[in-house]
Amino acid sequence: MLSELSGWAVTAVAVLGVLSVAAGVAVFVVDSMARATFALLASFLAVAGILLALDLVYLAVVTALMMTIEMAIMAVFMIMFMMNPAGLMPMTMVHNAKGSAGTGAGAFVVLVVGIWTIDWPMPDPERPADSTRQLGEAIMGSHMLVMLVIGIGLFATILAGTVLATARGRYDRFGAGLTAKRPDDPVPGGLRR
């Protein structure tokens, strides 16, 4: 397929491929959850750019939209529920560093050997008139109802996450008329609880 691309497309694939790998490595190098989330988003957006350069517009748009929304939801939930503010305090992002590095290196070697040694079938030169429609029918044909339900569920999750992340303070969770006092707030008379 690369032999059919123009010079700028080959350059874009190479540059975005390097950027995607670099951002993927950054996920495990940075020292906070928030930075790792945005590094992962950059990696996925570079992959979407590669798909766009390969003239796979539908897959590029779906990848960009899905990953952007997913990382935004992850950032919102980090701000809401993590003990350190917004996941910005330094923390280790790798557990069992030696074991995971060995597993990753082994998987990489196996995949590279497989890519270069397997006798891949030659692509059919006949292209359909509307490849986007054909892909949509192949993906969604028998699963349309499931995908619609999942879409509604994801939308409800986004709304619920946004509502839970509204600008209410830590001590007014009990409703408008039942705000709790901080433990160190002074009580009438100047005494503390």
52 found inside a domain = yes
80 and 26 both lie in a single domain = yes
84 and 151 both lie in a single domain = no
**Poorest-pLDDT segment among 41-55, 134-148, 166-180:** 166-180
Mean pLDDT of 135-150: 76
- Comparing 54 with 147, the larger pLDDT belongs to 54
121 found inside a domain = no
At 11, give phi and psi (nearest 5°): -65, -45
168 found inside a domain = yes
- Comparing 184 with 130, the larger pLDDT belongs to 130
Confidence tier at 94 by pLDDT (50, 70, 90): low
Q: How far apart are CA 5 and CA 120, in angstroms?
A: 19
pLDDT at 193 over 50: no
- Comparing 185 with 90, the larger pLDDT belongs to 90
Confidence tier at 108 by pLDDT (50, 70, 90): very high
Q: How far apart are CA 46 and CA 52, in angstroms?
A: 10
45 found inside a domain = yes
* Global confidence as pTM: 0.56
pLDDT at 66 over 80: yes
Mean pLDDT of 103-111: 93
Confidence tier at 44 by pLDDT (50, 70, 90): very high
Q: Residue 44's Cα: distance from chain center in Å? A: 7
pLDDT at 159 over 50: yes
What is the pLDDT of the chain when averaged over all its residues?
Answer: 78
138 and 87 both lie in a single domain = no
Mean pLDDT of 93-111: 86
pLDDT computed for residue 45 by the predictor: 94
87 found inside a domain = yes
15 found inside a domain = yes
Structural domain range at position 29: 1-93
102 found inside a domain = no
pLDDT computed for residue 43 by the predictor: 95
pLDDT at 18 over 80: yes
Q: What is the CA radius of gyration of the chain?
A: 24
124 found inside a domain = no
Write down the number of H helices and E strands in the chain: 6, 0
- Comparing 147 with 16, the larger pLDDT belongs to 16
